[in-house]
Structure 1
Amino acid sequence: MLKLYEHPVSSYAQKVKIALREKGLPFEVEVPEGLGSGRKDGPFVAANPRAEVPVLIDGAARLFDSTIILEYIEERWPDPPLLPRDPAARAFARITEDVCDTQYEAVNWGYGEVLWFRRADGALAERLKAEAARQTGLLQAWLEARLGEAPWFGGERFGWADAAAAPMVNRSVHYGLGPRPDSPLARWHVRLRERPSVAATFAEFDASVERRGDAAELYAKGLRQREYRDHRLEWLVKSGGIDVVLAGLRNRNIRFPWPEAS
């Protein structure tokens, strides 16, 4: 059986789980022991030296990076297809995914740094949350223009772009930053939540958030390290949160992707 190293809150892992469920593929999940602790041993790190989820194990295949995993799933189990056949439509779906994976995920992540992990307080926290809300609105407007009045981003069929956008928009809804009521994107989100593959994945997200406890305390004590990488780091810097990065370096509760600096 397929094995997926994941965390239910990870938008990237959610995207992969939605794809697996759309294909009707059975899989088992495991949250890696010590995820975020900086551990450099064990089967999870052996499969992905970046120590990031998701990681898909299929026999001898060890795959990481959610986009590469989606491509593998689509090529290995082509039916039902998530990507359309037309090259332009395929590119449309991949562009939608790329913006969701980089720009949108970074905004959600930055908002969570303040809300869940209390990386900032006072005026800085309010400024970062306001900037995240503003950028979320811009990203949702961009998605809405791509969706138009169609039921799904690919037209009449649920597909690749829907699986990619689903965790991002749903996280915004969780934060109270959802699409305008009764807008095309809000109606898409309602349809989305009724789809079995998505409903199961979102239920796992909700349950994990409910039982997460005081996650900020783990980072304050240096027991966990948040990964500040590429687009996430860029978001904090451009949005006025450079002091958050500097504090994380001083307190040794942030990390950067593999390979680490000496």
Structure 2
Amino acid sequence: MRDVRMLKLYHRTTSVCAAKERLVLYEKGLSFESELLNLQAGDQHDPAYLKLNPKAVVPTLIDGDRIITESSVIMFYPEETEPAPALMPDDPWMRAQTRLWMKRVDEFLHPGCTTVTFATANRKHFLATMTPEEREARYARNPNPERREIQRDCIEMGLDAPRVGAAVRQYDAAFDDMERQLSEKPWLGGRDFGFADICMIPYVNRLSLICMDSLWTRNRPNVSDWFDRVQARPSYEDAIVKWTTEDDHDRFVVPRGEVEGKLWEVLAV
């Protein structure tokens, strides 16, 4: 990797937002200093970290005395400081389409990912390791009231939580649009791999981990082919596979039959 300057990335091994930044950095060939946070232990609420990122989320990128937060903003920082290889399309129309994918992820798919992850993998961990009182104390540490309630509902109710159905339908609609777009062009941003693909990769990977991959493997061959090609890229191995620990794999072991049953129950309505 090029060692132009040393960036520091505060991140989490399996954080979808952090994975976006790692994908960008590896595609750009940029080195970075890794500062891992354990979100399950609540490291993001440490006062020292809150000074860097008051929202108590990852990632945070540090470049000297510059602090950059918000994952979709961070993505553009190395794109603009290290233009090659370009990850935004040249064509204005495809640049607009790329920004629409990023907006869709930020506004709908990321909240949906939080919902389905907490209702499956995180629920298993919380119920196995915490008493009801400890769980309430953990929820209370979240400074965002809406996220706090989503976490509580999903942990306590699992796939029956009120927001799960809406999250599944958002992904189903997104995969419909991906399938159509990929029937015309090889990548979501057009002829070349770029930001539109990068913003979706961590979320497709997460759904695969929690046994929701039938959303595309059943009847969306273009999405399946896209994900196969994504997984063959060196950046996928470097940014996602190598950062996923054995403990992470264990945490994401969920009952496929139960998850798929709920998935298709929701979509049948």
Compute the TM-score of the two structures, normalised by the length of structure 1. Answer: 0.72
RMSD over aligned CA atoms reads 2.6
Structure 2 contact 14–240 (Cα < 8 Å) conserved: no
Give the whole-Å Cα distance in 2 for the aligned partners of 1:28 and 1:84. 28
In 2, the alpha carbon distance for the partners of 1:33 and 1:135 equals 28
CA shift at 1:84, angstroms? 1.3
> Are the structure 2 counterparts of residues 83 and 133 from structure 1 closer, same or farther at C-alpha, using a change threshold of 3 Å?
same
- Please state which structure has a larger fraction of its residues in helix: 2
Per the alignment, residue 205 of structure 2 pairs with: 170
Aligned positions, number: 213
Q: Which residue of 1 aligns with 2:230?
A: 192
Instruction: After TM superposition, give the deviation of residue 183 of structure 1 in Å.
Output: 0.8
* Counterpart-to-counterpart distance in 2, 1:18 and 1:161: 12
Opposite residue 210 of structure 1, the aligned amino acid is H
Residues 123 and 198 of structure 1, relative CA distance in 2, 3 Å threshold: closer
Name the stretch that deviates more: 145-154 or 67-76: 145-154
Q: Deviations over 1:88-138 (max 9, x none)?
A: 21111011111122211222211111112321347835x765554444222
Does structure 2 conserve the Cα–Cα contact (< 8 Å) formed by 1:56 and 1:63? Answer: yes
Partner of 1:36: 42
Give the whole-Å Cα distance in 2 for the aligned partners of 1:166 and 1:33.
22
Counterpart in 2 of 1:20? 25
Q: Deviations over 1:177-229 (max 9, x none)?
A: 22134610110000000101112222145425225599xxxxxxxxxxxxxxx
1:76-225 paired onto structure 2 within 5 Å: 76-118=81-123, 119-121=155-157, 124-125=160-161, 129=164, 132-178=167-213, 179-181=216-218, 183-204=221-242, 206-207=244-245, 209-210=248-249, 212=251
Which one is further off, 155-164 or 27-36? 27-36
Asked if the contact 2:121–2:210 (Cα under 8 Å) also holds between the matched residues in 1, the reply is: no
Distance 1:209 1:149, change over 3 A: farther
Distance 1:6 1:184, change over 3 A: same
What residue in structure 2 maps to residue 65 of structure 1? 70
C-alpha separation in 1, matches of 2:97 and 2:118: 31
- TM-aligned CA deviation for residue 28 of structure 1: 1.8
Identity, % of aligned positions: 32
Alpha-carbon contact 1:101-1:164 (below 8 Å) kept: no
SS at match of 1:117: helix
Q: How many Å apart are 1:79 and its aligned residue?
A: 0.6
Q: Unpaired runs of 5+ in structure 1?
A: 215-238, 240-262
Q: Which moved more, 1:18-27 or 1:133-142?
A: 133-142
Measure how far apart 1:81 and its partner are: 0.4
**1:6 matched to 2:3:** no
Q: Which amino acid aligns with 2:196?
A: A
Q: Give the SS at the match of 2:177.
A: helix
Residues 1:68 and 1:130: Cα distance change in structure 2 (over 3 Å):
closer
> How much does 1:33 deviate?
6.3
CA contact (8 A) 2:9 2:59 kept: yes
- Preserved contact between residue 89 and residue 154 of structure 1 (Cα < 8 Å): yes
CA distance in 2, matches of 1:70, 1:189: 21
Residues 130-178 of structure 1, C-alpha deviations (whole Å, 9 max, x = no match): 5544442222112222333422112221111011011111111112222
Letter in 1 for 2:226: W
Check conservation: 1:152, 1:162, Cα contact below 8 A: yes
Aligned to 1:243: none
Letter paired with 1:174: L
**AA in 1 matched with 2:195:** W
